[in-house]
Amino acid sequence: MTYEFLQHYWCFIVSLLGALLVFLLFVQGANSMIFTLGKNQEERRLLINSTGRKWEFTFTTLVTFGGAFFASYPLFYSTSFGGAYWLWMLILFTFVLQAVSYEFQNKIGNFLGPKTFQCFLVLNGILGPLLLGGAVATFFEGSNFIVEKDNLINADALTPIISHWANASHGLDALLNPWVLVFGLAVLFLARTLGILYMMNNINDDEIRTRSRYQLAGSAFVFVVLFVVYLVHLILKDGFAYDESGKIFMEPNKYLHNMIDMWYLTAVMLVGVVLVLWGIISELLKLKREDPDPEDLEPENIDGIWYAGIGTVLTVTPLLLMSAWNHTAYYPSTADLQSSLTMENSCSSYFTLNTMFWVSLLVPFVLAYIIYAWHKIDSKKISRTEIEADDHAY
Amino acid sequence: MTNLFLSIDAGTIDWSRAQFALTAIYHWLFVPLTLGLAVIMGIAETIYYKKRTDFWKKTAQFWQRLFGVNFAMGVATGIILEFEFGTNWSNYSWFVGDIFGAPLAIEGIVAFFMESTFVAVMFFGWKKVSAGFHLASTWLTGLGATISAWWILVANAWMQYPVGCTFNPDTMRNEMTSFVEVALSPFAIDKFCHTVISSWIIGAVFVIAVSCWYLLKKRHTRLAIQSIKIAVIVGFIAALGAGATGHKSGQTVAQVQPMKLAAMEALYNGGNEMDLTMIAWVNPFKQPDYTNEAEPAMKLAMPYGLSMMATNTLDGYVPGINDLLNGYTKEDGTVELSVDEKIARGKLAIQALADYRKFKAENGNSKPGTLLYKKLFLEENMPYFGYGYVKDKHDLVPSVPINFWAFRTMVGLGCLFILFFGVVLILIFDIPMVSLIFRRLFSALGLLDERSADATSPADAMPRWLCWAAILMLPLAYICSESGWLVAEFGRQPWTIQDMLPTWAAVSDLQSSSVMITFFLFLILFTTMLAVEISILLKQIKKGPDATLNDK
Q: Identify which of A160, A348, A379 has the shortest CB distance to residue B98.
A: A348
Q: What is the pLDDT of residues B83-107, one digit of tens each?
A: 999 999 999 999 999 998 899 899 9
Q: What is the pLDDT of residues B443-475, one digit of tens each?
A: 887 777 766 666 656 666 788 899 999 999 999
Q: What is the pLDDT of residues B105-130, one digit of tens each?
A: 999 888 988 998 999 899 888 888 89
Interface mutation target, options A20, A70, A151, chain B, most CBs of B under 10 Å: A70
Q: What are phi and psi of A186, to 5 degrees?
A: -60, -45
pTM: 0.90
Q: What is the pLDDT along chain A (394 residues), one digit of tens a residue?
A: 899 999 999 999 999 999 999 999 999 999 999 999 988 888 899 999 999 888 888 988 999 999 999 999 999 999 999 999 999 999 999 999 998 999 898 888 899 999 999 999 999 999 999 999 999 999 999 999 999 888 888 766 667 889 989 888 888 888 889 999 999 999 999 999 999 999 998 888 888 888 888 889 999 999 999 999 999 999 999 999 999 999 999 999 999 999 999 999 999 999 999 999 999 999 888 766 656 666 666 666 788 899 999 999 999 999 999 999 999 999 999 999 999 999 999 999 999 999 999 999 998 899 899 888 888 888 778 888 888 777 777 8
- Residues of B with CB below 8 A from A158's CB? 3, 6, 8-10, 504
What pLDDT, on a 0 to 100 scale, did the predictor assign at position B45? 96
Residue B128 in 3-state DSSP?
A: coil
Give how far A394 is from chain B: nearest CA, Å: 11
Give how far B404 is from chain A: nearest CA, Å: 30
Q: Are A307 and A278 in contact (CB under 8 A)?
A: yes
Cβ pairs bridging A and B (under 8 Å) = 311
Q: Identify which of A59, A152, A164 has the shortest CB distance to residue B5.
A: A164
Could you give the CA distance from residue B175 to residue B166 in angstroms, rounded to a whole number?
5
Q: Is A274 exposed, middle or buried (0-12, 13-18, 19+ CB in 10 A)?
A: middle
For B87, the closest chain A residue by CA position comes to A82
The separation between the first and the last C-alpha atoms of chain A, rounded to the nearest angstrom, is 48
Pairing outcome for strands B165-168 and A248-251 = unpaired
Which DSSP helix (H) or strand (E) runs through A146? Answer: strand A145-147
What pLDDT, on a 0 to 100 scale, did the predictor assign at position B4? 41
Give how far B110 is from chain A: nearest CA, Å: 8
The separation between the first and the last C-alpha atoms of chain B, rounded to the nearest angstrom, is 78
Q: What is the dihedral of CA A264, A270, A276, A279, to 10 degrees?
A: -100
C-alpha distances in Å from residue A271, one per residue of A25, A231, A265, B492: 21, 15, 10, 53
Interface mutation target, options B110, B139, B508, B528, chain A, most CBs of A under 10 Å: B508
B155 reaches A (C-beta below 8 A): no
Q: Are A88 and A76 in contact (CB under 8 A)?
A: no
Pairing outcome for strands B328-329 and B276-281 = unpaired
What is the ipTM, given to two decimal places? 0.90
Helix, strand, coil in percent for chain A, rounding step 5: 75, 5, 20
Q: Which of B414, B432, B64, B461 is nearest to B228 (CA)?
A: B461
Binary contact (A96, B511; C-beta < 8 A): no
Beta bridge partners of A333: A143
Binary contact (B8, A391; C-beta < 8 A): no
